A and B are shown apart, each in its own frame.
Chain A
Amino acid sequence: MKVSKAILGAAIGALLTGSAMADTIKVGIIGPFSGPFALQGKNFQAGVEAYMALNGKSVKGHDIEVIYRDLPAANPAQSRALAQELVVKEKVQYLGGVYFTPDAMAITPLLKQANTPLVIFNAATSAIMTQSPLVVRTSFTTAQTTSPSGKIATERGVKKVISAVSDYGPGVDAEAAFKKAFEAAGGQVVEAIRMPLNTTDFSPIMQRVRDSGAEAVFAFLPSGPTTLGFVKAYNETGLKQAGIKFFAPGDLTQESDLPALGDGAVGLLTTFHYAVSHDSPENKKFVEAATKAVGGADQLSFPSVGAYDGMHVIYKMIEATDGKQDAQKAVDAVKGLSWTSPRGPVSIDAETRHITENIYLREVVKGPDGKTYNKEIQTFPNQKDPGLATQ
C-alpha cells in the first residue's frame, strides 16, 4: 500500500494546489440530461445558465466553470461514481444538481473527505439533510409543499378526504404529510389508496373515491403520463361534475405538463413553491433568461428555479471563501442567508440547511391566450420543512 499512499498524496496535493492556484473554480452539476427525465435536467441547465447570464461568470475575479454529468435515472452507484470523478479528476470545488433522492444519498458520504459542499437543486426527501452537514438544499420537500393543502381543504369546508397516491417514496411522504396537516386542522382522511406506480387505468380508483363519500380527493403521482391519466379519469368519470374537489402538490400541474393536460386541468388546486407565472420583477427577469436557455417557454418548470437559487448559494459560497476550498466555511457562510428569489422571499434555515420559502395555493386557469397556467391565489409565507422540524 506504500505506492497507493504515494498516489493518494499526489492526488491530495494536486487537489490542494489545483484549487489554490487556479483562477477557475469548477462546479460539477449532476442531473438527468437524457432519457425520460431529460426535461428536468434541461431545466437544471436553464436555471444555471440564466443565473450566470444575469450575474456574470466570475466571482471576485474567480472564473466559474460548470461541468455537467448525466444521470438519466435514479442510480446511486452511478451517482457516486460520477461525484467521485468530478471531485478527484475534474477537481470541482462544488457539487450541485441531483434530481433523485437515492442519488443524493449516495453522494453525501463522500462530501467530508472531498471537502466539497453539495447544493441540491431538487431531490426532495427530508432525510437527505441529516446525512451530511455539508448539504444545502434550494428546492423543496414533499412535506413542505403538501402541508398547506390540509389547511386549505378545511378552509374550503371539506371535512372528509380520500387520498390516492402512487405507491413509492414521494407518494407515501405526500400521503403522510397531508394526513398530518389535515387532521391537525380538524379534517378526516376516510381512506388512503396506494396505486401501483405503473397504473394507467384509473376508473376503478375513481369509483372508490365516489363510494367513499369523501368531499375531496388528495392525489400525488409522478408527473407525466400517469398524472395525465389520473386527471383525465377525474374529469371523465364525473367526479369533477359531482363537486368532489381535487387537492395535490404542484408536481402534478408543473408548467411543462399543462399543455398535455389541456382544459381538463382547469380548476385544479395545487400547492407549490413556484409558479412560472409568479408576478415579481425578479421572476420576469428569470423567466426571460431561462426561456432563452431552455429553448421554449412551454418547457420551463420548477427544477429551473431550484438550480437558479442553487447557483446563487454557490456564488455566495465562493464569495465567502474567496476561491479557497473550504467546504465547512462555505456552508457556514450561507446558513441564514436570505434573498429574493424568482419564487419570492427565501432563506436558508441555519439549523437544517434547507430552504425556507413561501408556499402558494394555485389554481389552474385559462389565460387570455387560451393557454392554461397556474395562478397563485393564496400565500403561506415562510414555510419550513415540517419533515425536518419534527426530527
Chain B
Amino acid sequence: MQVVAQAQRVPAPSSVGNRWLRDAIGLALIVAAGLAGYWLFPDNLALLTRVIAVALLVLSLDLITGYCGVASLGQASLFGAGAYAAGIACVNGVTEPLTLIVIGAVAGAAAGLLMGTIMLRAHGLAQLVLSIAIVQLFHEAANKASAYTGGSDGLAGLTVSPLFGLFEFDLWGQTAYLFGLALLVVVFVVLKFIVSSPFGMLCRGIKQDPIRIRAMGSFVFPVLLKMFVISGAVAGMGGALAAISTQVVGLDSVSFELSANALVMLVLGGLGSLYGALVGTVIFMGFEHIVSAINPFHWMTMVGALLIAVVLAAPGGLSGVLETITRSARRSKGGRP
C-alpha cells in the first residue's frame, strides 16, 4: 500500500477567488463532458449510466482513501448496501426514484458507520484485511438472505416509476443517464464543499500525520468515522442508481472484485483528488468497454498492460500527470510555481 503511504503533495496555496474559479471551471467541464457523452454516444447510455454509478463508488472510496489515508478493499459493501436497500424497497412498492436514492444513501451511510467502527480499530495492513473480511461477510449475508435479496439469482422485478411522473426509465436509458448525471453533479459539488471545509482539511491532516493532529487536540476517530458515514452515503447513492437503472441487483454489487476495481480506478485517476476519481473511472471503464468489444476473448491482457503502463509511467495517477503539465505550463509562463 505504498500508494497510500506516499506523502501528499500539498498544492501551493492559492487565493480563495482563484480556487472558486478553478472549481467552477472544473464543474462546467464535468457537465460539458456529461452532456457530450449524451449527444455523442446516444447508443451507449446504459454503459454511461453504469460509469456514473461506479464513479460515485470511486468518489466515495477517494473520500476515505485519498483524503483520510484509510485504504479499503471493501468499499463495495457500502455500494451493495445502497443497491440492495433501494432494490428491496422498490420490490416492496416504493418506486419513486428520488426516494429510492435517499433510501440507498441512508443504507449506505448506516453501512459506512458499521464498517468505519470496525475498520478504524485497526491500522495499516490489518485495516486492509478487515475491509476485505467485511465485504466478504456482506457478500455472504446477501447470498444467505436469498428470501430478501434473491441470492445468487439476483434481485429482479424492480419496476421504477417515472421520474417526476413524466420520464420513464426505458430501454434507451436517457432518463437514467440524465438523472445519474444530475445526481453526480450535485454530489460532486457537495463533496467539493466538504473536502475544502475545515473538516476536510482536518482529514487531510490526519492522513499526513495522525499523531500530530492528536497532539494538536483533535480527536482522530470521530473525524474519520464521520467521513466513513459520508462516504457510505455517496457509495449507497451509487448503488441505488445502479439498481434503478438496471432494475436488477446482483451479488456482484457487494463483491470483492468491484471493491478492488474501484481502488484500481482510483489509483489510475489519482488519489486525493475528486477529479482524479472521475477521470480514473471514465478512462478505465471506457477502455475496458472498447477493448472488450474489439476482442471479446483476450481483452483482459490489454487492460492489464494499460494498468502496468500507468503505474510505471505516472505513479501519481492521470490527474497527477495533468497537474504536472499545468504546473510546468504555468512555470514557463513565468507564474509562481
Give the interface of A toward B (CB within 8 A): 1, 4, 7-8, 11, 33-35, 38, 68-70, 72-78, 80-81, 84-85, 87-89, 101-102, 105-106, 108-110, 113-114, 125, 127, 131, 167-170, 172, 196
Q: Is the interface of B mostly helix, strand, loop or mixed?
A: helix
Pick from B53, B152, B171: contact of A88, CB under 8 Å = B171
Q: Is the CB of A131 within 8 A of B156?
A: yes
Q: Is the CB of A84 within 8 A of B171?
A: yes
Among A8, A77, A81, A87, max chain B CB count under 10 A is at: A77
Q: Is the CB of A73 within 8 A of B252?
A: yes
Q: Would A8 and B300 be within 8 Å (CB), given that A74-B252, A76-B246, A102-B153 are in contact?
A: no
The docked-state distance in angstroms from the alpha carbon of A250 to that of B207 is 54
CB distance from B301 to the nearest CB of A (A): 9
Pick from B46, B144, B252, B292: contact of A75, CB under 8 Å = B252
B250 within 8 A of A: yes
Other than the given A68-B296, A76-B248, 18 more pairs (CB < 8 A) read A33-B297, A34-B297, A34-B300, A69-B292, A74-B154, A76-B154, A78-B50, A80-B247, A84-B172, A85-B47, A89-B43, A89-B44, A101-B153, A102-B153, A102-B248, A106-B154, A106-B156, A109-B247
B222 within 8 A of A: no
B299 within 8 A of A: yes
Q: Of residues 148 to 184 in B, which have CB atoms within 8 Å of A's CB atoms? A: 150-154, 156-157, 166-167, 170-174
CB distance from B281 to the nearest CB of A (A): 14
B293 within 8 A of A: yes
Please name all residues of chain A whose beta carbon is closer than 8 Å to the beta carbon of B242 when the two chains form the complex.
77
Closest CB pairs A-B (n = 3): A102-B154, A89-B43, A70-B296
B298 within 8 A of A: yes
The docked-state distance in angstroms from the alpha carbon of A76 to that of B244 is 12
Please name all residues of chain B whose beta carbon is closer than 8 Å to the beta carbon of A7 when the two chains form the complex.
42, 172, 174
Q: Is the CB of B296 within 8 A of A33?
A: yes
Among B144, B166, B296, B299, max chain A CB count under 10 A is at: B296
The docked-state distance in angstroms from the alpha carbon of A84 to that of B48 is 12
Q: Is the CB of B171 within 8 A of A87?
A: yes
21 A-B pairs with C-beta separation under 8 A: A1-B167, A33-B297, A34-B298, A69-B293, A70-B297, A72-B300, A74-B250, A74-B251, A80-B245, A81-B246, A84-B172, A84-B173, A87-B171, A89-B43, A89-B44, A102-B251, A106-B156, A109-B247, A125-B153, A131-B156, A168-B151
The docked-state distance in angstroms from the alpha carbon of A217 to that of B151 is 25
CB distance from B235 to the nearest CB of A (A): 15
Q: Of residues 229 to 256 in B, which have CB atoms within 8 Å of A's CB atoms? A: 242, 245-253
The docked-state distance in angstroms from the alpha carbon of A170 to that of B146 is 12
With contacts defined as CB atoms under 8 Å apart, how many contacts are there between chain A and chain B in the complex? 129
Q: Would A105 and B172 be within 8 Å (CB), given that A35-B300, A77-B53 are in contact?
A: no
Q: Would A105 and B167 be within 8 Å (CB), given that A84-B46, A169-B151 are in contact?
A: no
Q: Is the CB of B143 within 8 A of A106?
A: no
B209 within 8 A of A: no
The docked-state distance in angstroms from the alpha carbon of A33 to that of B296 is 6
> How many residues of B are in contact with the other chain, CB < 8 A?
45
Among B166, B248, B293, max chain A CB count under 10 A is at: B248
B257 within 8 A of A: yes
Please name all residues of chain A whose beta carbon is closer than 8 Å to the beta carbon of B297 when the two chains form the complex.
33-34, 38, 70
The docked-state distance in angstroms from the alpha carbon of A374 to that of B249 is 37
Q: Is the CB of B296 within 8 A of A11?
A: no
Q: Is the CB of B172 within 8 A of A172?
A: no
The docked-state distance in angstroms from the alpha carbon of A196 to that of B152 is 13
Q: Is the CB of A110 within 8 A of B171?
A: yes
Among A38, A72, A76, max chain B CB count under 10 A is at: A76
Please name all residues of chain B whose beta carbon is closer than 8 Å to the beta carbon of A68 when the two chains form the complex.
296
Pick from B45, B50, B53, B248: contact of A105, CB under 8 Å = B248
Q: Would A77 and B167 be within 8 Å (CB), given that A34-B299, A85-B44, A168-B143 are in contact?
A: no
Q: CB-nearest residue of chain B relative to A10?
A: B42
Please name all residues of chain B whose beta carbon is closer than 8 Å to the beta carbon of A4 when the two chains form the complex.
174
Please name all residues of chain B whose beta carbon is closer than 8 Å to the beta carbon of A80 when the two chains form the complex.
46, 245-248
The docked-state distance in angstroms from the alpha carbon of A2 to that of B252 is 36
Q: CB-nearest residue of chain A relative to B297?
A: A33
Q: Would A77 and B174 be within 8 Å (CB), given that A34-B297, A35-B300, A105-B156 are in contact?
A: no
Please name all residues of chain B whose beta carbon is closer than 8 Å to the beta carbon of A76 when the two chains form the complex.
154, 246, 248-250, 252
The docked-state distance in angstroms from the alpha carbon of A46 to that of B153 is 26
Please name all residues of chain B whose beta carbon is closer than 8 Å to the beta carbon of A1 when the two chains form the complex.
166-167
Q: CB-nearest residue of chain A relative to B170?
A: A113
Q: Would A81 and B47 be within 8 Å (CB), given that A38-B297, A105-B153, A127-B153 are in contact?
A: yes
